[in-house]
Amino acid sequence: MDKQDTLAFDKQHLWHPYSSFTNPTPVFDVVRAEGVYLELGDGRKVIDGMSSWWCAIHGYNHPVLNEAIHQQLDKMAHVMFGGLTHQPAVELGKRLISILPQNLNRIFYADSGSVSVEVAMKMAIQYWYSKGLSNKNRFATVRGGYHGDTTGPMSVCDPVNGMHHMFRSILPEYYFVDRPVAATDDYFDISEMNQLRSVFEKHHAEIAAFIIEPILQGAGGMRFMAPQYVLECRKLCDEFDILMICDEIATGFGRTGSMLAIDQVGIVPDLLCLGKALTGGYMSFAATIASSEIANIISESEAGTFMHGPTFMGNPLACSVACASFDLLHAIDWRTNVIRIETQLKKGLLPLKNESKVADVRVKGAVGVLELKENVDMKTLQPWLLGQGVWLRPFGKLLYTMPPYIINNDEIDKITKVIAQAVQ
Ligand SMILES: *Cc1c(COP(=O)(O)O)cnc(C)c1O
């Protein structure tokens, strides 16, 4: 098929994320991707400022990751995980344990981030059920969060962004507190905890778990929060006997400057979700990790088993490439690179704070965000950005970048210059 056919068929028949058939935003075809560059059907090569939504931390077409998949492919692409196991699953497990707090050590492999959040929510409910507290089956969270698009995660996504009113008939109504104001510990005021405390005081008997994206709320608004806030959430969960779920699907693997965002807080959640960059952006894969206490209580219950088991659980190709991605992270010295990217993003973006169209600029780790005063016009902005040689995917009032860790400083400068031009 030539390029015209590709785009025409796509427009007629393929849904895209958050897309409309009758009022579509532009879609561009990619024929290759290499390093930090995407090559479009019309021959243009553009710098990828998105890491394909947090995933492609090592860039594209990486020889080491390719090789890991090739090697595994020649042994087996997939076998069921019910009653069978394999070395890639075990090897990945060892690597996960090596970056997790000691007590988080029971790993459930899931096929996507949303599923891993579903699994965490089900584990929380089954944990309390096993303890004879079947009414402890609701959730609390922070406004502005994003936890995935399937029904369970949707119920804890921001009620406005998540369009809860459209799904009222199937979404349970859970407890939401205002998002924290403090983005750094300098600004944190303990009175920020009052709302959560009062929700817990009133409803702890029915709340199974509190779920939060620690340090950085991603797709719900790209906002950072003070580590102290996350720490105080942990304390309140302990005080009121509520489990804490940390959704690190976006923040995991170094993005905010530490391997896990919780490393900046020093807490241990009861359940933790990883995904996105887990496979270096090669395949859809995720994991839910539970504390041994939760796993054991569920296991000793009347059902005796945790009731979830996806067909593609523990997929060997995904596990192999995830292992290779882990090893590569250490080999490239991810920490040095993330700090370098942070410095360079700050240099390019912070001076834009005073632009008339800009409401806020925030940079942390390998994430740079411009919040504008008005919504961006995707239909004109996106093609313009591509014309300038960078791939960014703005949404709402946000123009932001989270590039692959292999990006060099000139390429970062190119991204920040284009962003600057866009708002000037
Ligand atoms: C992307 C994301 C999810 C959902 O993951 P999918 O793989 O898209 O299902 C959940 N939580 C967070 C924080 C995310 O960024």
Write the DSSP string, 259-326: SSGGGGTT---SEEEE-GGGGTTSS--EEEEEEHHHHHHHHTSSS-S-S---TTTT-HHHHHHHHHHH
- pLDDT at position 4 is 74
My answer on whether 316 and 353 are in the same domain is: no
Of 330, 349, 368, the one marking the end of a domain is 330
In-domain check, residue 72: no
Question: How far is it, in rounded angstroms, from Cα 399 to Cα 232?
Answer: 30
On whether both 127 and 148 belong to a single domain, the answer is yes
Q: How far is CA 27 from the centre of its chain?
A: 23
Res. 115: pLDDT tops 70: yes
How many other C-beta atoms can be found within 10 angstroms of the C-beta atom of residue 117? Answer: 29
Identity at 59, one-letter amino acid code: G
Do 19 and 135 lie in a common domain?
Answer: no
CA of 18 to the centre of ligand 1 (A): 14
Rounded to the nearest 5 degrees, what angle is found at the Cα of 212, between the Cα atoms of 221 and 253?
A: 80
Q: Do residue 290 and residue 169 come from a single domain?
A: yes
CA torsion angle 24 25 29 33 (round to 10): -140
Segment 103-116 shows an average pLDDT of 98
Q: Report in angstroms the alpha-carbon separations of 82 from 111, 309, 310, 342, 363.
A: 15, 8, 9, 43, 43
pLDDT band at 301 (very low <50, low <70, confident <90, very high): confident
Q: What is the CATH number of the domain that holds 101?
A: 3.40.640.10
Nearest-CA residue for atom 3 of ligand 1? 148
* Ligand 1 center–CA 42 separation, angstroms: 31
CA 58 remoteness from chain centre = 16
Domain check: are 184 and 82 in the same one?
yes
Total structural domains in the chain?
A: 2
Q: How far apart are CA 89 and CA 78, in angstroms?
A: 11
Q: Is residue 33 located within the same domain as residue 180?
A: no
Cβ contact 88:319 at 8 Å: yes
CB of 152 closer than 6 angstroms to any ligand 1 atom: no
- 73 assigned to some structural domain: no
Over 80: is that where the pLDDT of 119 sits? yes
Residue 291: inside a domain = yes
Q: Which atom of ligand 1 has the smallest separation from the CA of 150?
A: 9
Residues 320 and 343 in one domain: no
The ligand 1 atom nearest the CA atom of 117: 10
DSSP-based three-state secondary structure for 99: helix
In a domain, 215, yes or no: yes
Answer for the pair 208, 137: CB distance below 8 angstroms, yes or no.
Answer: yes
User: Do residues 297 and 380 both lie within one domain?
Assistant: no
Percent with pLDDT over 70 in the chain: 99
Q: Which two tokens mark 234?
A: 């942990």
Which residues are the active-site residues? Answer: 18, 146, 247, 276
Residues 203 and 309 reside in one and the same domain: yes
Burial 302-334 (b: 16+ CB within 10 A, else e): eeeebeeebebbbbbbbbbbbbbbbebbeeeeb
User: What 3-state DSSP class applies to 183?
Assistant: coil
Q: Hey, what amino acid is at 230?
A: V
pLDDT at residue 231 above 90? yes
Rounded Cα gap, residues 4 and 6, in angstroms: 5
What pLDDT sits at residue 303? 75
Over the stretch 340-397, which tens digit does the pLDDT of each residue have?
Answer: 999 999 999 999 999 999 999 999 999 999 999 999 998 899 999 999 999 999 999 9
Please answer whether residues 54 and 39 qualify as being in contact, where contact means their C-beta atoms are separated by less than 8 angstroms: no
112 close to ligand 1 (CB < 6 Angstrom): yes
Domain with 347 in it: what CATH number? 3.90.1150.10
Q: Which pLDDT belongs to residue 304?
A: 82
Model confidence at 2: pLDDT above 70: no
Q: Is 54 within a domain?
A: yes
Residues 315 and 346 in one domain: no
Going by alpha carbons, the residue nearest to atom 7 of ligand 1 is 113
Mean pLDDT, rounded, for 259-288: 98
Report yes or no on 322 lying in a domain. Answer: yes
Which tokens hold the place of 14?
């393929």
214 lines ligand 1 (CB under 6 A): no
pLDDT digits (tens, 9 = 90+) for 44-61: 999 999 999 999 999 999
Q: How far is CA 288 from CA 218, 344, 409, in A?
A: 18, 33, 35
Q: Does 1 have pLDDT greater than 60? A: no
pLDDT, tens digit (0-9, with 9 covering 90-100), for 321-345: 999 999 999 999 999 999 999 999 9
Query: What residue numbers bound the domain in which 381 lies?
Result: 3-58+333-423
Using alpha carbons, select from 393, 313, 321, 329 the residue that is nearest to residue 112. 313
Taking the CB of residue 156, how many other CB atoms lie within 10 A of it? 29
Cα separation of 14 and 397, whole Å?
26
Tell me the chain's radius of gyration from C-alpha atoms: 22
- Looking at the domain assignment, is residue 69 inside a domain? no
Q: What's the pTM?
A: 0.98
Tokens linked to 70: 């090739």
* Ligand 1 contacts CB of residue 285 (under 6 A): no
Among 330, 353, 370, where does a domain finish? 330
The pLDDT of residue 49 is: 98
The residue out of 302, 330, 358 marking a domain boundary is: 330
* 65: in domain: no
97 & 237 share domain: yes
Phi, psi (degrees; rounded to nearest 5) at 6? -55, -50
Q: Is 218 touching ligand 1 by the criterion CB < 6 Å?
A: yes
Start-to-end CA span in the chain (Å): 40
Find where tokens 């009133």 sit. Answer: 202
Give pLDDT tens digits for 128-185. 999 999 999 999 999 999 999 999 999 999 999 889 999 999 999 999 999 999 999 9
Looking at the CA of residue 112, tell me the nearest atom of ligand 1. 7
CA-to-CA dists, residue 242 to 128, 230, 363, angstroms: 10, 14, 32
List the residue whose alpha carbon is closest to atom 8 of ligand 1.
113
From ligand 1's centre to the CA of 276, what distance in Å? 7
Atom of ligand 1 nearest to the CA of 53: 1
Q: Are 248 and 256 in contact (CB under 8 A)?
A: no
Same domain, 215 and 289: yes
Q: How far is the CA of 355 from the centre of ligand 1 (A)?
A: 32
Please tell me the distance between residue 252's alpha carbon and the centre of ligand 1 in angstroms: 11
Q: Tell me how far apart the alpha carbons of residues 228 and 346 are, in angstroms, rounded to a whole number.
A: 23
Task: Calculate what percentage of the chain has a pLDDT beyond 90.
Answer: 96
